[in-house]
Structure 1
Amino acid sequence: MTATATDSRPAATAARRAPGPLRTELRRGLGPWTGAAVAVTILVTMYAKAPEWQIRWQDAQNLLHPLAGMLCGPLAMAAGCLQGGRDRRVGAEDLWASVPRPPLPRLLVAAAPSALWPAAAVLLADAVVLLAVWPYASWGRPSAGPLLADAVAVGAMGLTGHVVGRVVRWRLTAPLLAVAGYFGLAYADFTSSASRWLLPNAQFSVSGYRQVWWYAPASAAWTAGLALTVLLAYGLRSSRVRLLALVPLTVAVCAAAVILRLPADPGPWRIDPAAVRPVCDDGAPRVCVVALDARLLPAVTEALEPVNERLRGLPGAPARWAVGAMEPEPGDVELLDVAQDVVRNRLEDPASYRNFAVSQLFAEECREGELAGPYAERTMDVNHAVVEWLAPAPPGYGPDVPGARAHLDRLRAKSPAEQRAYLVQYLAANSCRPDEVPVP
């Protein structure tokens, strides 16, 4: 009795230590390599575009979303296809057929790496990217729903590829499946219909917008439902319970019906009033940015301060510089989104931004035929001269206007009091009436 008990202990210990079938499948084959390829694809692409997104949570997610769907999805499909055809390639199909385990659980265990590794890699890469945004983001937080929906979509495409690899016995299936998936997903970039919101790479990149809360769960239900339908239809093909495949199919169809009710534009995106509320300094004229860019306010204020020194206290000067998509007020000079000129909360070229801002200050919209007549060309030359005087453009930035040089020289030759008096006259004039524009 003692010898029997002693001999059974190593066997029991070995049984406890032996990895289960799911763990074994996750550790071998193409799964880990697929996950690594997905993560590297996202991280390398995002690293190359770091100046475009390392400023806002939303900008980072606006790049992560189509990247996961457009590149990682087809990659996961091709890898899943190769993983699905593994048993056929190694000649293990007859061996598996002799195992007493039911076909569906065996299929679920074998297909798990094709779905779980790509999905986990997407989430890991997303976490790395968002950590890189964290020191520079001004407002808000990342949206977990879209990130999870992206991971589910990539995992679903890997699962679908696995089933295709089991069904289609052709060596070129995997690369052709990746190409077909890529060009099929490209449909979202070439259509404006509501059907594009069914695709996992559909994009609408506008600052200050947020997704409706239900879109990410519906999108995940749509992609996961289709993939599970394909998997169950294959796994239960010889079973009496094959009607179970209708359950995920019903979920997918209901999710698609909800998504298709979205307007074609802007789809699931709605403006977020809290994101575009103005955040202003106490200068004169005031400099205001949207809450999304609150950390950029000191850099923008510093860039515009030389112009503000000359405009401060003058009649006709703007009330504020409105930077971004905020609600306009009387006396605003509306400037475009500043993010394209910023790298990690620093203006790359303050002089060129200042020149652009002053150009917008004097960019009056004239009706057709107003800016005409014998003084029209002179008015445009004077405009260029005043802009260059207030905010000199860096070399190679802006147009070279020979006719403005004489006006610019006369402006620079005036005394500070004369320059101030002329600027008051110029601000009061209507540039759409060339005969009223004062000449320096």
Structure 2
Amino acid sequence: MTATLTPPPASTPPSPRTAGRATRTPKPVLIELRRGLGPWTGAAVLLTILVTMYGKAPGWQGRWADATNMLHVTTGMLVGPLALAAGCWQGGRDRRRGTLDLWESAPRSPLRRLFVAVAPSALWPAAGVLLGDAVCLLATWPYASGGRPFLELLAADAVAVAALGAIGHVVGRTVRWRLTAPLLGIIGYVGLGIGAYSHQPVRWLSPASEHQFLWDRPVWWFGPVSMAWTAGLALTALLAYGLRRARLRPLALVPLAVAVAAAALILRLPTDEGPWRPDPALARPLCDDGTPQVCLTAVDERLLPEVSAALAPLNARLKGLPGAPVRWVGGPFGPARPGDVELPDAAADAVRGRLPHPDLYLNSAVSWLFSDTCEPGDGTGRDAERASIINLAVIEWLAPTPLGYGPDPTVVRPYIDRLRAKSPAAQRDYLGRYLAANTCHPDEVPVP
């Protein structure tokens, strides 16, 4: 019996597309971004921003300027030190594991190896900042009216956090002490805080400097120059470390020169105003059609119906009285013409574009209406105490406050009862006389 040997079938070579997929290896930077402390740092940054902003949401969610300022301070004061400490710990990882020699033996230039290693320390914190900013701005969008978020400043914050992470990484590679990371975070927190609350132009170099003027806008060049300042410092540290054994080390002077030039430009800003300038478009008044008129700025356009409704009972009593306000005005410039009366800041009492306590806001507006600018020595005499009690009684009569907020009822109750017992005509007559009186002179205050 003869055995027949059948040759095995020839293997089919893989297609070029399949072969390329099989031999394709992930890029080193992608491998580094997926391992180590980087993803956890990004998550910690995002959580820090969201938790901090959520706890103060009523204070920033109604205005773009408030949201931007709160994000800026949160990023600078909390996220910046966190990025420093995390970058430092990430930078010392290979030294702690004893794999630094293996990493440096890779067939790549020292500078390229350093930029691959530093990517998680810089990119993950910046990504966490940008994602946290996006979430908070989306939460502000349904309630904010005039103005816009200063995206260039938020981008500069992300660059500053990436720069701090990179600087921390270099420190972690240089210093062998295990407690360097937490200590560096503490030093960063103290340094950023001192810089932010300084009264010198150096405060505007800090990524945590605070600004609370709601009708201003930053000069157009401040965001890019701030990026050049922080990124220049980080590149200087990276080049100085990565080229420490090469003849090209003087290249580190190039980003250092850029950082110094950017810092010099920022330091030329005025100490108080810094990069901020008044924006007439944000401060323009928007008025209702009532009598007296209620006028707010474009920043608080959404609050105008709420404020008008809160003041409606008072306006009905003041309408047509001599000495009554012609306009209630709110904004940065105060009363601009005769008959204007300044309003309390509506946004300070608002929550997400609404006035949760319109009665308290009305009470504040009446208090401002009857607050005269007194000179030293005014408000004295034998009638001073009585005039003060009458003033409280008139305010409570026109705008009663909820229980627990107003003055002692046993003191003001007799005058309030007298005012309520009067006929409507007598009440208008007394209110007209009280508006004409100067409350700084107690003898001029009419007794109900």
TM-score, normalised on structure 2?
0.94
Amino acid at match of 2:109: P
1:309-363 Cα distance to aligned partner (Å, 9 max, x none): 1001111100111123245222121123211111111111111111110011000
Q: 2:395 — aligned with what?
A: 387
1:181 aligns with 2:188: yes
2:392, 2:20 → 1: CA distance?
A: 88
- What secondary structure is seen at the aligned counterpart in 2 of 1:346? coil
Deviates more, 1:250-259 or 1:313-322: 313-322
Q: 2:146 — aligned with what?
A: 139
Amino acid at match of 1:416: P
After superposition, the Cα gap between the structure-2 partners of 1:430 and 1:184, relative to the gap in structure 1 and judged at 3 Å, is same
Q: 1:346 — aligned with what?
A: 354
1:144-173 Cα distance to aligned partner (Å, 9 max, x none): 110100000000000001111111111111
5 Å matches for 1:236-315? 236-315=243-322
Deviates more, 1:89-98 or 1:284-293: 89-98
How far does residue 364 in structure 1 lie from its aligned partner after superposition? 0.5
Q: 2:405 — aligned with what?
A: 397
- How many equivalent residue pairs? 438
Query: Are the aligned partners of 1:22 and 1:109 in contact in 2 as well (CA < 8 Å)?
Result: yes
How far does residue 380 in structure 1 lie from its aligned partner after superposition? 1.4
1:98, 1:206 → 2: CA distance?
A: 54
Select 1:116's aligned residue among 114, 123, 126. 123
Q: CA RMSD in A?
A: 1.7
Amino acid at match of 1:221: A
2:30, 2:139 → 1: CA distance?
A: 32
Moved over 4 A (4+): 2-5, 7-11
1:383-434 Cα distance to aligned partner (Å, 9 max, x none): 1111111111111213326443222111111011110111111112222222
Q: 1:153 — aligned with what?
A: 160
1:175-213 Cα distance to aligned partner (Å, 9 max, x none): 111011001111134420111111110112121111111
Q: Between the two proteins, what is the percent identity of the paired residues?
A: 64
Query: Are the aligned partners of 2:283 and 2:299 in contact in 1 as well (CA < 8 Å)?
Result: yes
Q: 1:33 — aligned with what?
A: 40
1:129 aligns with 2:119: no
Structure 1 unaligned blocks of 5 or more: none
Q: 2:228 — aligned with what?
A: 221
How far does residue 102 in structure 1 lie from its aligned partner after superposition? 1.0
Query: Are the aligned partners of 2:217 and 2:279 in contact in 1 as well (CA < 8 Å)?
Result: yes
After superposition, the Cα gap between the structure-2 partners of 1:48 and 1:184, relative to the gap in structure 1 and judged at 3 Å, is same
Q: 2:96 — aligned with what?
A: 89
Amino acid at match of 1:144: L
Q: 1:359 — aligned with what?
A: 367
2:63, 2:159 → 1: CA distance?
A: 24
Select 1:193's aligned residue among 193, 196, 200. 200
- What secondary structure is seen at the aligned counterpart in 1 of 2:106? coil
Query: Are the aligned partners of 1:139 and 1:293 in contact in 2 as well (CA < 8 Å)?
Result: yes
2:334, 2:57 → 1: CA distance?
A: 29
Amino acid at match of 1:354: L
How far does residue 5 in structure 1 lie from its aligned partner after superposition? 8.6
- What secondary structure is seen at the aligned counterpart in 2 of 1:439? coil
Amino acid at match of 1:355: N
1:414 aligns with 2:422: yes
- What secondary structure is seen at the aligned counterpart in 1 of 2:280? coil
1:169 aligns with 2:176: yes
Query: Are the aligned partners of 1:54 and 1:132 in contact in 2 as well (CA < 8 Å)?
Result: yes
How far does residue 437 in structure 1 lie from its aligned partner after superposition? 1.9
Q: 1:337 — aligned with what?
A: 345
2:111, 2:13 → 1: CA distance?
A: 38
How far does residue 255 in structure 1 lie from its aligned partner after superposition? 0.2
After superposition, the Cα gap between the structure-2 partners of 1:332 and 1:41, relative to the gap in structure 1 and judged at 3 Å, is same
1:88-129 Cα distance to aligned partner (Å, 9 max, x none): 122112212322211110111111111011111101110000
Query: Are the aligned partners of 1:277 and 1:326 in contact in 2 as well (CA < 8 Å)?
Result: no
1:21, 1:231 → 2: CA distance?
A: 18
Select 1:426's aligned residue among 404, 428, 434. 434
1:190, 1:203 → 2: CA distance?
A: 8
Query: Are the aligned partners of 1:290 and 1:324 in contact in 2 as well (CA < 8 Å)?
Result: yes
Amino acid at match of 1:60: A
Query: Are the aligned partners of 1:324 and 1:336 in contact in 2 as well (CA < 8 Å)?
Result: no
Larger radius of gyration: 2
Deviates more, 1:123-132 or 1:76-85: 76-85
1:7, 1:362 → 2: CA distance?
A: 89
TM-score, normalised on structure 1?
0.96
Deviates more, 1:395-404 or 1:204-213: 395-404
- What secondary structure is seen at the aligned counterpart in 2 of 1:203? coil
